[in-house]
Amino acid sequence: MTRTLPAKRQQPNAIAGMTILEVLVAVAIASSAIALLVPALIRQASISTEATSLTSVEAVVSRDLDWISDYARYWKLRSGPYNLSATITQASGYTFSPQVEYEPPADRCANGTLAEGFLNDASSVITTPARPYPIAGSGNVETIMVATDLQLARTITTQRNRIQVLYALTGSKADSLRFSRQASVLIEAAAWCDTLP
């Protein structure tokens, strides 16, 4: 005797798909996830923008300090890119003979004001390799444009045979980036002051 199982009966009130309650729960979960994700994405975009801005600022500071350091190295040199005759002899490569000599002004050596003479001369350099940004006298604040909403305030002060350079960020992004740098540059010709009569 073969027994057959009764066929499954479909319940008349069974509904295919999701109920409204299930849809509302799914929407609530998705909304919560989006609410948590959006601020994180906005913050990440802000961090990326700040990093790009800081990279631009660092590049400007590096370019400016490189020139100031190079000029401090060759200022009042008898030969080289900024020699005493005001003729540019070797604007690239900076190769000198073993007889490299400086000729710092004796009165500035005696008075300890070599850095002031350096700044005066640096402010008038227009030859190759030219300075990338203007230089004024000691204590003056100069604005260096990095971007339309990003500027650097540079202040150069003198301390006998050394100059101090201070960079501070100004503009609308200054508070969020909090950037400042300070550098001290020795005037190379100062080492020759002791050899003067």
Question: Of residues 149 and 4, which shows the higher confidence score?
Answer: 149
Decide if pLDDT at 132 tops 70.
yes
The overall average pLDDT reported for the chain is: 81
Report the alpha-carbon distance of residue 187 to residue 165 in Å, rounded: 13
- For the ranges 1-15, 17-31, 50-64, 97-111, the lowest mean pLDDT is seen at 1-15
pLDDT at 63: 93
Q: What is the pLDDT of residues 88-110, one digit of tens each?
A: 444 445 555 556 678 888 888 88
pLDDT at 126: 77
Q: What is the CA radius of gyration of the chain?
A: 34
Domain positions in the chain are 54-195
Report the alpha-carbon distance of residue 162 to residue 112 in Å, rounded: 10
* Paired tokens of 158: 């003198």
Decide if pLDDT at 87 tops 50.
no
Q: What is the pLDDT of residues 9-25, one digit of tens each?
A: 555 555 566 788 888 88
Write down the pTM of the prediction: 0.71
% of residues, the chain, pLDDT over 90: 22
Question: Of residues 197 and 165, which shows the higher confidence score?
Answer: 165
- For the ranges 82-91, 117-126, 165-174, 176-185, the lowest mean pLDDT is seen at 82-91
% of residues, the chain, pLDDT over 70: 81
